[in-house]
Amino acid sequence: MFPQVLERLEWNYTRSKRSDFTDRMVDELYRKGILLMRWHVAGDVFSPNYARKMLEIIGRSPHCTFWFYTRSWRVPTIFPIIKSMSIMPNCKVWLSADAETGYPPDIPDTCRVAFMQTEEGEDTEEADLVFLDRPLRKLSLPMLNKVCPTETVAGKERGTSCATCKVCWS
Ligand code: SF4
């Protein structure tokens, strides 16, 4: 929606397609002493070639712990590479699902499932973590122990943040 954000995302995308992207990322993560990195605040694993680049960067950056959420488990040419990332000791993979996608038919032991709940009563049984659509955040839903604490009233009152919660990368 916002031109500055779109411009930045376009810049990120073109960088990710460069032939030296992998070397540059490995170098930057090392030089800046990055210990935790979440991929794709906006975006996803968009091609097998990009997935292979991610795999290489993770493998060459053992000092850093990575995590990401992805809906690309639905793409047969990408999912095997996502599985390879998930078995790396410094990478946590979340398969994203919602009522529209349903749950992944094949959930490797090394992956967890994050469910985006948009309506009350949706099936969150198979989810390891639940994110709530904004209108649901004010409600006291069951299974609160699975809901991202920054999205619950109780979590907000406690002042929980990703830094104190750590569920996604541990
Ligand atoms: S608060 Fe916890 S569950 Fe929510 S995004 Fe951060 S680390 Fe993940």
CA–centroid distance, 18 to ligand 1, in Å, is 31
- How many domains does the chain contain in total? 1
Q: Which domain holds residue 25?
A: 20-131
User: Is 155 a domain residue?
Assistant: no
- In terms of C-beta density within 10 A (0-12 exposed, 13-18 middle, 19 or more buried), how is residue 96 classed? buried
Residue 43 has pLDDT above 80, yes or no: yes
User: Is 72 a domain residue?
Assistant: yes
Identify the pLDDT of residue 121.
84
* Predicted confidence (pLDDT) per residue in 108-164, tens digit: 999 999 999 998 888 888 999 999 987 777 766 555 578 998 888 888 889 999 889
Question: Residues near ligand 1 with C-beta < 6 Å?
Answer: 129, 148-150, 162, 165-168
CA–centroid distance, 121 to ligand 1, in Å, is 22
CA–centroid distance, 153 to ligand 1, in Å, is 14
Q: Do residues 150 and 167 make contact, with C-beta atoms less than 8 angstroms apart?
A: no
User: Is 127 a domain residue?
Assistant: yes
